[in-house]
Amino acid sequence: MVNPPARLLALATAKPAHVLHQDAVMAAGQQLFGDAFADIDRLLPIYAHAGIEQRASCVPLAWYLEKHGFTERNALFLQHGRDLLVEAADRCLEAAGLAHEDVDAIVAVSTSGIATPSLDALVMEERPFRRDTMRLPVFGLGCAGGVLGLSRAAAMARAHPGSRVLFLCVELCGLTFRHDDRGKSNFVATALFGDGAAAALLSCAEGGGPAVGASGEHTWAGSLDVMGWKVCDDGFGVLFSRDIPTIVRNDYRAACDSFLARNGLDLAGFDAILCHPGGAKVIAALEEVFAMAPGAMRHAREILRSHGNMSAVTILFVLEQALAQEPPGRWLLSSLGPGFTAAFLSLEA
């Protein structure tokens, strides 16, 4: 007997209170990096070209202008990461009409801080989850973590028929900023990253929500230096290649087509394609790959514009908006992350 598909019973997001407007961030970036780059005026347009108007942050903009050690920054990650996940989980369970005690398993994804005990344990300490709740913390998926985490949670729901699996995802990318790093990647990061969290509840046994279908991934050989962290004395140093849009244009479609073929799917059978907006250039490359008109990936562009790149969490904000605005149909979700990896998931909304 084949288990029924996992269904998305509810999805909720949360964001911190501080709003960073891109013009103000650009002024701060100029102040911080002005002495590091002789051609700083030539680099400043990166803020305008990022496709971002504002982002949420768990600390105010002035905080970034001061030096903070990794110990302090990770303590903030634990505090705010826990609080945002609790908020998202509360909203998700309320939307599903269920209590914390009704959850059988928690999958928690994050790559922007270190937590041991893990974030799922911290959340359990704040809310009345059952003491026998299964826990699966996942670290290192980066921007691919939203799609891959959702697929792992769905797989756990299918493996335990009748269970309810809560997927939690939080990224506080701003806290990874290293004040003394005057490298170009760190500068570019100031124009892109924001903070956010999301929670999704999945089950095979109940509900009429969207069904999670096939999922998969493709990790390119020799691509470990495309995206990730460099672990430094003062924390995580951002690593991403300027070649990512080129990789997308040249190699992404073949990986996508291979995933579809393995699962007996055809791109023409999807009503919408929802992608993680890694940046304006990446969205443009994805639109080209799928032969879409410029601007066609409106949900990705709108979330990028109002929230920035929140790493793994971003695709869940995109999905939340699509669920609220699009008619039901079959959707393809995709994101790119360290590895270098493309993640795919089909959703029957």
User: Is residue 231 within 8 Å of residue 205, measured between CB atoms?
Assistant: no
Q: Go through 326-347 and write b for each residue having 16 or more CB atoms within 10 A of its CB, e for each that does not.
A: eeeebbbbbbbbbbbbbbbbbb
* Token pair in block for residue 40: 């700083």
Active site residue 143: yes
User: Residues 256, 257, 259, 260: is their CA dihedral positive or negative?
Assistant: positive
Choosing from 92, 143, 169, 256, the catalytic residue is: 143
Q: Note whether 44 and 13 are within 8 A (CB).
A: no
Evaluate the omega torsion of the peptide bond into residue 117 and state whether it is cis, within 30 degrees of 0.
Answer: yes
**Residue carrying the six token digits 């990986």:** 255
Under DSSP, is residue 85 helix (H, G, I), strand (E, B) or coil? helix
- CA gap 112, 146 in Å, rounded: 13
Give the catalytic positions in this structure: 143
